Amino acid sequence: MKVVITGANRGIGRALYDSYLARGETVIGTARGGKEGMVALDVTVPDSFATLQEAIREDPVDLLICNAGVYLDKFERLEDGYPTEQWADTFATNVTGVFQTVQTLLPNLLAAKGKIAILSSTMASHTHAPGGSYIYRASKAAVLNLGRNLATDLAAQGVAVGIYHPGWVKTDMGGDEADITVEEACAGLTQRFDALSMDTTGAFKTWDGQRHPF
Protein backbone atom coordinates (compact mmCIF):
# COMPACT_ATOMS: atom_id res chain seq x y z
CA MET A 1 0.00 0.00 0.00
CA LYS A 2 1.28 3.46 -0.87
CA VAL A 3 0.53 6.15 1.72
CA VAL A 4 1.12 9.90 1.36
CA ILE A 5 1.11 12.06 4.50
CA THR A 6 1.39 15.85 4.50
CA GLY A 7 3.06 17.54 7.45
CA ALA A 8 4.81 14.30 8.36
CA ASN A 9 7.87 15.72 10.11
CA ARG A 10 6.37 16.18 13.59
CA GLY A 11 3.43 15.56 15.89
CA ILE A 12 0.60 13.35 14.68
CA GLY A 13 1.95 13.37 11.14
CA ARG A 14 5.30 11.96 12.24
CA ALA A 15 3.64 9.30 14.37
CA LEU A 16 1.50 8.22 11.43
CA TYR A 17 4.54 8.20 9.16
CA ASP A 18 6.51 5.97 11.53
CA SER A 19 3.51 3.71 12.14
CA TYR A 20 2.92 2.99 8.46
CA LEU A 21 6.62 2.40 7.87
CA ALA A 22 6.61 -0.11 10.73
CA ARG A 23 3.72 -1.89 9.04
CA GLY A 24 5.82 -2.28 5.92
CA GLU A 25 3.87 0.17 3.79
CA THR A 26 5.43 2.45 1.20
CA VAL A 27 5.20 5.89 2.78
CA ILE A 28 5.87 9.31 1.30
CA GLY A 29 5.92 12.10 3.85
CA THR A 30 6.02 15.79 3.10
CA ALA A 31 7.46 18.68 5.08
CA ARG A 32 8.40 22.27 4.46
CA GLY A 33 11.99 22.23 3.30
CA GLY A 34 12.00 18.46 2.75
CA LYS A 35 13.35 17.65 6.21
CA GLU A 36 14.69 14.18 7.04
CA GLY A 37 14.40 12.85 3.52
CA MET A 38 10.78 13.88 3.08
CA VAL A 39 9.37 15.50 -0.04
CA ALA A 40 9.65 19.28 0.14
CA LEU A 41 6.11 20.67 0.13
CA ASP A 42 4.79 23.96 1.42
CA VAL A 43 1.04 23.62 0.93
CA THR A 44 0.66 27.42 0.94
CA VAL A 45 2.80 27.75 -2.21
CA PRO A 46 1.01 26.54 -5.38
CA ASP A 47 4.26 25.94 -7.30
CA SER A 48 5.42 23.61 -4.51
CA PHE A 49 2.96 20.91 -5.59
CA ALA A 50 5.03 20.20 -8.70
CA THR A 51 7.65 18.65 -6.41
CA LEU A 52 5.05 16.32 -4.92
CA GLN A 53 3.82 15.36 -8.37
CA GLU A 54 7.37 14.60 -9.51
CA ALA A 55 8.02 12.42 -6.46
CA ILE A 56 4.95 10.26 -6.99
CA ARG A 57 4.76 10.37 -10.79
CA GLU A 58 1.96 8.06 -11.99
CA ASP A 59 2.10 5.65 -9.05
CA PRO A 60 -1.31 4.76 -7.60
CA VAL A 61 -1.89 6.20 -4.11
CA ASP A 62 -3.94 4.03 -1.77
CA LEU A 63 -4.22 6.49 1.11
CA LEU A 64 -3.72 10.25 1.26
CA ILE A 65 -3.63 11.72 4.77
CA CYS A 66 -4.10 15.50 4.76
CA ASN A 67 -2.50 16.30 8.10
CA ALA A 68 -0.60 19.57 7.52
CA GLY A 69 -2.18 22.34 9.56
CA VAL A 70 -1.55 25.43 11.67
CA TYR A 71 -3.17 27.02 14.73
CA LEU A 72 -1.92 30.61 14.71
CA ASP A 73 -4.61 32.44 16.68
CA LYS A 74 -4.61 30.46 19.92
CA PHE A 75 -3.81 33.48 22.12
CA GLU A 76 -5.41 36.29 20.11
CA ARG A 77 -7.80 38.79 21.71
CA LEU A 78 -11.08 39.79 20.10
CA GLU A 79 -10.45 43.45 20.90
CA ASP A 80 -7.19 43.85 19.00
CA GLY A 81 -6.08 40.47 17.61
CA TYR A 82 -6.77 38.18 14.64
CA PRO A 83 -4.80 40.14 12.02
CA THR A 84 -5.67 39.73 8.37
CA GLU A 85 -2.46 37.84 7.60
CA GLN A 86 -3.38 35.18 10.16
CA TRP A 87 -6.64 34.56 8.36
CA ALA A 88 -4.85 34.28 5.02
CA ASP A 89 -2.04 32.04 6.28
CA THR A 90 -4.37 29.73 8.20
CA PHE A 91 -6.81 29.22 5.35
CA ALA A 92 -3.94 28.76 2.88
CA THR A 93 -2.65 25.86 4.98
CA ASN A 94 -5.77 24.32 6.52
CA VAL A 95 -8.18 24.63 3.60
CA THR A 96 -6.65 25.62 0.26
CA GLY A 97 -3.61 23.43 0.93
CA VAL A 98 -5.83 20.41 1.51
CA PHE A 99 -7.76 21.02 -1.69
CA GLN A 100 -4.61 21.48 -3.77
CA THR A 101 -3.07 18.32 -2.31
CA VAL A 102 -6.15 16.32 -3.27
CA GLN A 103 -6.31 17.94 -6.70
CA THR A 104 -2.63 17.23 -7.37
CA LEU A 105 -2.90 13.55 -6.43
CA LEU A 106 -6.38 12.92 -7.81
CA PRO A 107 -5.17 10.86 -10.81
CA ASN A 108 -3.08 8.70 -8.45
CA LEU A 109 -6.00 8.22 -6.06
CA LEU A 110 -8.37 7.35 -8.89
CA ALA A 111 -5.89 4.80 -10.25
CA ALA A 112 -5.94 2.97 -6.90
CA LYS A 113 -9.56 3.71 -5.97
CA GLY A 114 -7.84 5.02 -2.89
CA LYS A 115 -8.89 6.80 0.28
CA ILE A 116 -8.55 10.38 1.49
CA ALA A 117 -8.30 11.11 5.21
CA ILE A 118 -8.67 14.76 6.23
CA LEU A 119 -7.80 15.87 9.75
CA SER A 120 -10.27 18.47 10.96
CA SER A 121 -11.18 19.10 14.61
CA THR A 122 -14.04 19.06 17.08
CA MET A 123 -13.65 22.84 16.88
CA ALA A 124 -15.24 22.62 13.42
CA SER A 125 -18.53 21.35 14.80
CA HIS A 126 -21.64 23.49 15.27
CA THR A 127 -21.99 21.75 18.64
CA HIS A 128 -18.69 23.14 19.92
CA ALA A 129 -18.71 26.93 20.16
CA PRO A 130 -17.19 28.16 23.44
CA GLY A 131 -15.78 31.25 21.73
CA GLY A 132 -12.32 32.36 20.67
CA SER A 133 -9.90 30.87 18.14
CA TYR A 134 -12.10 32.27 15.38
CA ILE A 135 -9.63 31.70 12.57
CA TYR A 136 -8.75 28.12 13.44
CA ARG A 137 -12.39 27.18 14.06
CA ALA A 138 -13.49 28.71 10.76
CA SER A 139 -10.72 26.94 8.83
CA LYS A 140 -11.51 23.55 10.35
CA ALA A 141 -15.23 24.03 9.66
CA ALA A 142 -14.33 24.88 6.07
CA VAL A 143 -12.19 21.78 5.58
CA LEU A 144 -14.93 19.63 7.13
CA ASN A 145 -17.32 20.99 4.52
CA LEU A 146 -14.69 20.47 1.82
CA GLY A 147 -14.27 16.84 2.82
CA ARG A 148 -17.99 16.12 2.83
CA ASN A 149 -18.41 17.56 -0.66
CA LEU A 150 -15.34 15.75 -2.00
CA ALA A 151 -16.94 12.56 -0.70
CA THR A 152 -20.06 13.32 -2.73
CA ASP A 153 -18.17 14.09 -5.92
CA LEU A 154 -15.74 11.16 -5.71
CA ALA A 155 -18.20 8.46 -4.64
CA ALA A 156 -19.04 7.43 -8.19
CA GLN A 157 -15.32 6.97 -8.90
CA GLY A 158 -14.73 4.72 -5.91
CA VAL A 159 -12.66 7.09 -3.77
CA ALA A 160 -13.72 7.24 -0.11
CA VAL A 161 -13.21 10.40 1.95
CA GLY A 162 -13.18 10.51 5.75
CA ILE A 163 -12.94 13.55 8.02
CA TYR A 164 -11.51 13.09 11.50
CA HIS A 165 -11.15 14.76 14.88
CA PRO A 166 -7.75 13.49 16.06
CA GLY A 167 -8.48 14.23 19.71
CA TRP A 168 -6.91 16.84 21.95
CA VAL A 169 -3.36 15.59 21.59
CA LYS A 170 -0.17 16.37 23.50
CA THR A 171 1.73 18.03 20.66
CA ASP A 172 3.25 21.47 20.13
CA MET A 173 -0.19 22.55 18.95
CA GLY A 174 -2.25 20.79 21.60
CA GLY A 175 -0.02 21.52 24.58
CA ASP A 176 0.93 19.47 27.64
CA GLU A 177 -2.54 19.62 29.20
CA ALA A 178 -4.16 17.73 26.32
CA ASP A 179 -6.15 14.53 26.87
CA ILE A 180 -4.23 11.92 24.89
CA THR A 181 -0.74 11.13 23.68
CA VAL A 182 0.41 11.21 20.09
CA GLU A 183 0.72 7.43 20.20
CA GLU A 184 -2.91 7.01 21.31
CA ALA A 185 -4.14 9.36 18.60
CA CYS A 186 -2.06 7.59 15.96
CA ALA A 187 -3.28 4.12 16.96
CA GLY A 188 -6.90 5.23 16.82
CA LEU A 189 -6.57 7.13 13.57
CA THR A 190 -4.87 4.28 11.71
CA GLN A 191 -7.76 2.03 12.73
CA ARG A 192 -10.23 4.61 11.42
CA PHE A 193 -8.36 4.91 8.12
CA ASP A 194 -8.26 1.12 7.73
CA ALA A 195 -12.03 0.99 8.26
CA LEU A 196 -12.83 3.83 5.85
CA SER A 197 -14.89 2.54 2.92
CA MET A 198 -17.53 3.64 0.47
CA ASP A 199 -20.10 2.74 3.12
CA THR A 200 -18.68 5.37 5.48
CA THR A 201 -17.48 7.99 3.01
CA GLY A 202 -18.28 11.55 4.05
CA ALA A 203 -18.52 10.70 7.75
CA PHE A 204 -16.97 12.87 10.47
CA LYS A 205 -15.45 10.62 13.14
CA THR A 206 -13.34 10.91 16.24
CA TRP A 207 -9.97 9.24 16.67
CA ASP A 208 -11.61 6.50 18.73
CA GLY A 209 -14.36 5.70 16.25
CA GLN A 210 -17.31 7.77 17.45
CA ARG A 211 -19.48 9.61 14.94
CA HIS A 212 -18.97 13.34 15.48
CA PRO A 213 -21.81 15.83 14.91
CA PHE A 214 -21.20 18.12 11.99
Listed in sequence order, the residues at least 6 apart from 163 whose beta carbon sits closer than 8 Å to its beta carbon are 118, 120, 143, 144, 147, 148, 202, 203, 204, 205
Q: Is this prediction's pTM over 0.85?
A: yes
Q: How many CB atoms lie within 10 A of CB 195?
A: 12
Q: Please, is 65 exposed, middle or buried when counting C-beta atoms within 10 Å of its C-beta (0-12, 13-18, 19+)?
A: buried
In the 8-state DSSP scheme, what is residue 35? G
97-122: per-residue pLDDT in tens? 999 999 999 999 999 999 999 999 99
CATH architecture of 2-206: 3-Layer(aba) Sandwich (3.40)
Q: Please, is 197 exposed, middle or buried when counting C-beta atoms within 10 Å of its C-beta (0-12, 13-18, 19+)?
A: exposed
- Tell me how far apart the alpha carbons of residues 150 and 80 are, in angstroms, rounded to a whole number: 36
11-62: per-residue pLDDT in tens? 999 999 999 999 999 999 999 988 788 999 999 999 999 999 999 999 999 9
Domain ranges for the chain: 2-206
Closest Cα partner for 125 from 163, 72, 170, 182? 163
Confidence check: pLDDT of 182 > 80: yes
